[in-house]
Amino acid sequence: MNPVRIGICGLGTVGSGTVNILTRNKAHIDARAGCNISIVQIGARRDNPNVDTSKFNVTRDIFEVANNPDVDVLVEVIGGTTIAKDLVLKAIENGKHVVTANKALIAHYGNEIFAAAKAKGVTVAFEAAVAGGIPIIKAIREGLAANNIEWLAGIINGTGNFILTEMRDKGRSFDDVLAEAQALGYAEADPTFDVEGIDAAHKLVILASLAFGIPLEISKVFTEGITKIASEDVTYAEELGYRIKNLGIARRTDKGIELRVHPTLIPEKRLIANVDGVMNAVLVKGDAVGPTLYYGAGAGFRRRRKKASLASL
């Protein structure tokens, strides 16, 4: 089998999970990919107790990975948009393919990064940037390729959905649930991104760019989070037969593509109204296929894997 040598930069929740899954499921992954995938280097400023890196070549200098001639594919999971951008552009300059889970990076600098990758003849893959465990990028790009997409709408921030669900189900306070989401590793380094809708806006522009073939323009998204939602709002919505969900919505209109993130009242019988906790879901309406719905974990895979069962669906 062909060797594919990867370098992973970042050992946070996503990076440690990536190393663990690549190690645990190596035989399956290699068989499906038809190549021998090996981690040749890990770049991380600090260790993570959730992953054993003793068998790997670990460097504290992530740019060493981008400059390592033995690395074919650089996996960027450090987050942020400053060092991550330099790192990704350096890897591309050095002729490496890039895999990133960094939605903020793609939303803000994707146009520049994809142009650089095209010029170098390398690929930038970003499936995990939106709705983590749901292969929504592939579904839009390939599964729905024959469709003219009319609109899409999704619960694409797990932390926000977790907060709204706990407020409704257990009457817990916003701050209390947010603290738990942070402790569980669901939230962004800056949780404002989760609760003010910014993280969802990043993901929405990525989905809209793929669905409608438009450039990535984060400034075009109307963005509102859930910080103004009080417990009373959740209770009144319930009494009226609705659930409050913070949706990212992209819709084709006569004037162009509408992009918005904001709290929405959804009739409680709708499937998407019942997407609870840290789970994500994306509805996509294609002209040929009609409405389709994709559901799965958006954040916090490591902890959920132990608990989830068929019954929980």
Whole-number minimum distance, CB 110 to ligand HSE, in Å? 16
| Residue closer to ligand HSE, measured from CB, 145 or 189 | 189
| Residue closer to ligand HSE, measured from CB, 71 or 184 | 184
For ligand HSE, the binding residue among 174, 188, 206, 297 (CB under 6 A) is 188
| Residue closer to ligand HSE, measured from CB, 41 or 102 | 102
Which amino acid does the sequence have at 34? Answer: G
Whole-number minimum distance, CB 273 to ligand HSE, in Å? 18
Whole-number minimum distance, CB 263 to ligand HSE, in Å? 16
Q: What is the CA radius of gyration of the chain?
A: 20
Residue 243 phi, psi dihedral angles, 5° rounding: -120, 145
Whether 86 and 72 have beta carbons less than 8 Å apart is answered as: no
| Residue closer to ligand HSE, measured from CB, 52 or 190 | 190
For ligand HSE, the binding residue among 72, 76, 194, 196 (CB under 6 A) is 194
196 forms part of the interface with ligand HSE (CB under 6 A): no
199 forms part of the interface with ligand HSE (CB under 6 A): yes
Residues 136 to 165 in contact with ligand HSE, rule: CB under 6 A: 157-159
C-alpha 286: how far from its chain's center? 22
- The reply to whether 307 belongs to the active site is no
Choose, from 203, 220, 269, 306, the residue flagged as catalytic. Answer: 203
| Residue closer to ligand HSE, measured from CB, 192 or 235 | 192
299 forms part of the interface with ligand HSE (CB under 6 A): yes
Q: CA of 250: how far to CAs of 46, 138, 195, 297, in Å?
A: 39, 18, 19, 21
Size of site (CB under 6 A) for ligand HSE:
11
76 forms part of the interface with ligand HSE (CB under 6 A): no
Token pair recorded at residue 104: 């903020």
Residues 279 to 298 in contact with ligand HSE, rule: CB under 6 A: 298
C-alpha 249: how far from its chain's center? 16
210-214 CB contacts, 8 Å cutoff, 24+ apart: 210/137, 210/140, 210/141, 211/140, 211/149, 211/152, 211/250, 211/284, 212/149, 212/250, 212/252, 212/257, 214/257
15 forms part of the interface with ligand HSE (CB under 6 A): no
CA dist., res. 187 & res. 76, Å (int) = 18
Residues 100 to 139 in contact with ligand HSE, rule: CB under 6 A: 132
What positions carry a catalytic annotation? 203
Binding site for ligand HSE (CB under 6 A): 132, 157-159, 186-188, 194, 199, 298-299
